[in-house]
Amino acid sequence: MTSTHRLLPPLGASLTRGRFSSDQIRNGFLRSFRGFATVTSSEPALANLEAKCADAIPECSTVEDEITKIRHEFELAKQRFLNIPEAINTMPKMNPQGIYVNKNLRLDNIQVYGFDYDYTLAHYSSHLQSLIYDLAKQHMVNEFRYPDVCIQFKYDPTFPIRGLYYDKLKGCLMKLDFFGSIEPDGCYFGRRKLSRKEIESMYGTRHIGRDQARGLVGLMDFFCFSEACLIADMVQYFVDAKLEFDASNIYNDVNRAIQHVHRSGLVHRGILADPYRYLLKNGQLLRFLRMLKDKGKKLFLLTNSPYHFVDGGMRFLMEDSFGLRDSWRELFDVVIAKANKPEFYTSEHPFRCYDSVRDNLAFTKVDAFDPKKVYYHGCLKSFLEITKWHGPEVIYFGDHLFSDLRGPSKAGWRTAAIIHELEREIQIQNDDSYRFEQAKFHIIQELLGRFHATVSNNQRSEACQSLLDELNNARQRARDTMKQMFNRSFGATFVTDTGQESAFSYHIHQYADVYTSKPENFLLYRPEAWLHVPYDIKIMPHHVKVASNLFKT
């Protein structure tokens, strides 16, 4: 199953594609391994091994013949695995700053650009997760009376990824695939990884059914890293202390503590007190916003954060850019803070005009938006009535698939998901060493498929079982190597260890028309560009899948 996913050709960001020589393309699986070697001193020996394989296996008419053929091909493959194939070097590289398309989008039809603030316009350093974690655990100890020893817990940046699920009934933190099945090597009880037998013992199967799904909560935004780590650490504490606990209480307390950290302003004050530690300056952001204004586009800011926090952050981010330290507001036609998303999209709350000097809300009715004023609360219904902006001409940028994008998507707005970690993951998948492991995995997977199609359980001889064990072990080593390149606990954000899309990817398909790592990546494209879905998608549009039959005709 081959797939060559293509990024749209932006200005200065086209794919590097290569051609394969006729020597790299052969009919049949056996000869496909020719493409998996560079010219080395062992080439004559490998050629002889190929010849022996071809001569020894003229036809497969029995189970033994097929198993012998699979064994020969596996031995040949292991020799080829000693070198990274030249063909992998010529495969296309995906652009880490590219825009990836789930639904066709004509930018010339977009007249209004809306933005969330946190992790959309503002990006943060890794120190922020530690700050949130520390403030939340302190609240749990001081206010919820968790044991004092919990104050010693430390945030582990190597443990969580975005898009995990927590089971409030059983206490497991897990990664799910596109179909709602538990990742075999991505299910933790506390900080201990569960084995496949333990997963099947707890759930009956790896697939999460409708009844079991009711107990799951998704951790989808960028602030969920600290939340996931704190949940796992608290569960592990109770397990180690041999104390009884209710898994739902752990989640509820951690979630309440995380919400308190944000709503009380603790994390906001911490960020503004040391912006150089937490905020990442980006000169391209102002260039992007200014370009939109120059093109006559309307801009609005819609965030759940309070205005003083947004104002302090925007001033810091733009203080070095074009002398606009005090005029970031000039870029936006409407500024709405404390919007209370996702309720903003379904409620009928009125807008209130906010006085930033007096820090209070006006009592007068809002029936028009003044670019010089700031608004709190409100709802989508009133927003559309006041602005007269029609759904298809509006695009909204946000990092949270549920809170930011699900409502706009259902309301007819176009949506752009901002996924900061996309850049790093694309850089990893572009690396030849990762692609080589991926090719090994797919080749072994195909051999295993042929093995299971040939041999039933009651036909397995000692030689068959030996081959099966070797193939399974080799596949697991390739999986483990690829997983460690991303995250040692849960692997990649967008795919599972078996190459399936993750549940997080599923939600991106549902609610994001396009996705990218930063809004300013749109600078790589013409403002009038037509963004099309790649015709050959098999998994996410930003993936290039190294398939075993790459070198076949």
Q: Could you tell me which residues are beta bridge partners of residue 352?
A: 376
Least confidently predicted of 77-91, 148-162, 287-301, 417-431: 77-91
Taking alpha carbons only, the member of 138, 139, 30, 19 closest to residue 74 is: 30
CA dihedral (373, 310, 140, 199) positive or negative: positive
- Closest to 380 (Cα-Cα) out of 339, 420, 415, 441: 339
Listed residues 273, 303, 327: the one ending a domain: 273
Co-location of 212 and 328 in the same domain: no
pLDDT tens for residues 178-201? 888 999 999 999 999 999 999 999
The one-letter code for the residue type at 449 is: G
Pairing mode, if any, of strands 182-189 and 360-361? unpaired
**Structure token digits, residue 497:** 């260890």
Q: How many structural domains does the chain have?
A: 2
Burial of 248 (C-beta count, 10 Å sphere; 0-12/13-18/19+): middle
Same domain for 142 and 263?
Answer: yes
Q: What's the CATH number where 318 sits?
A: 3.40.50.1000
DSSP state of 495: B
Cβ 341 vs Cβ 154: under 8 Å: no
Are 217 and 170 members of one domain?
Answer: yes
In the block, tokens 């559309």 appear at 384
Residue 65 appears among annotated catalytic residues? no
What is the per-residue pLDDT for 119?
Answer: 92
Verify that 253 and 171 share a domain, yes or no.
yes
Closest residue by Cα to residue 90 from 544, 552, 553: 544
Residue 141 lies inside a defined structural domain of this protein? yes
- Which range of residues forms the domain containing residue 381? 112-123+279-388
Q: Is residue 207 part of a domain?
A: yes
- Between CA 540 and CA 354 the distance in angstroms is 42
Distance of alpha carbon 388 from alpha carbon 380, whole angstroms: 11
The answer to whether 140 touches 253, Cβ cutoff 8 Å, is yes
- What is the reported pLDDT for 89? 77
What would the two tokens of residue 203 be? 């759930």
- For residues 284 and 243, membership in a common domain is answered with no
- On the question of pLDDT at 72 being above 80, the answer is yes
Residue 399 marked as a ligand binder: yes
Q: What is the pLDDT of residue 46?
A: 45
Instruction: Please say whether the beta carbons of 539 and 545 come within 8 A.
Output: yes
The reply to whether 354 falls in a domain is yes
Q: Which of 118, 134, 221, 233 is catalytic?
A: 118
The pLDDT assigned to 539 comes to: 66
Instruction: Count the alpha carbons within 13 Å of 234 in the hemisphere toward its beta carbon.
Output: 32
Are 263 and 315 members of one domain? no
Both tokens of residue 434? 């990762």
Cα(135)–Cα(257) distance, integer angstroms: 8
Q: What is the dihedral of CA 10, 522, 431, 103, to 10 degrees?
A: -80
Per-residue pLDDT band at 545 (split at 50, 70, 90): low
Amino acid letter, residue 85: P
Q: Which of 240, 273, 306 is the last residue of a domain?
A: 273
Rg (Cα) of the chain, in Å, rounded? 27
- Residue 273, H or E segment: helix 266-273
Q: Let me know if 116 is a catalytic residue.
A: yes
- Do 235 and 153 belong together in one domain? yes
**286-322: b (≥16 Cβ within 10 Å) or e:** bebbeebeeeebbbbbbbbbbbbbbbbbbbbbbeebe
pLDDT in tens, 133-187: 999 999 999 999 999 999 999 999 999 999 999 999 999 999 999 888 999 999 9
Phi, psi of 205 (to 5 degrees): -155, 165
**Residue in 342, 157, 146 with CA at minimum distance from that of residue 254:** 146
Q: Is residue 525 part of a domain?
A: no
Same structural domain for residues 234 and 283? no
Cα distance between residue 409 and residue 412, in whole Å: 5
Question: In the structure, what pLDDT confidence band is assigned to residue 537 with cuts at 50, 70 and 90?
Answer: low
pTM of the predicted model as reported, rounded to 2 decimal places: 0.83
Is 172 within the bounds of a domain? Answer: yes
What single DSSP character describes residue 494?
S
Domain boundary among 354, 371, 388: 388
Same domain flag for 177 and 237: yes
Higher pLDDT, 31 or 62: 62
pLDDT at 323 over 90: no
Evaluate whether 246 touches 215 at the Cβ level (below 8 Å). no
Supply 16's token pair: 């590097």
Beta-carbon neighbour count of residue 279 at 10 Å? 20
Q: Is 55 annotated as a binding residue?
A: no
pLDDT tens for residues 75-114? Answer: 888 888 887 777 777 788 899 999 999 999 999 999 999 9
Using the predicted structure, report yes or no on whether residue 400 has a pLDDT greater than 50: yes
Instruction: Verify that 296 and 242 share a domain, yes or no.
Output: no
Alpha-carbon span 140 to 42, nearest angstrom: 62
456: in domain: no
The answer, yes or no, to whether residue 7 has pLDDT greater than 50, is: no
511 part of a folded domain: no
Q: Is residue 28 part of a domain?
A: no
Q: Cis check for the bond before 342: say yes or no (omega within 30 of 0).
A: yes
333 is in an annotated binding site: no
Contact 349, 343 (CB under 8 A): yes
Same domain, 134 and 269: yes
Q: Are the C-beta atoms of residues 243 and 234 closer than 8 Å to each other?
A: no
Nearest to 203 by CA among 211, 233, 497, 238: 211
User: Of 23, 116, 233, 359, which one is the catalytic site residue?
Assistant: 116
Mean pLDDT of the chain: 85
Count the Cβ atoms, other than its own, within 10 Å of residue 68: 17
- Which residue type occupies 336? I
* Range with the poorest average pLDDT among 212-216, 320-324, 491-495: 320-324
Given pLDDT bands bounded at 50, 70 and 90, which one contains residue 527?
A: confident
Return the SS3 of 336. Answer: strand
Answer yes or no: do 199 and 315 share one domain.
Answer: no
Q: What angle do CA 18, 23, 26 make, to 5 degrees?
A: 100
pLDDT of residue 514: 96
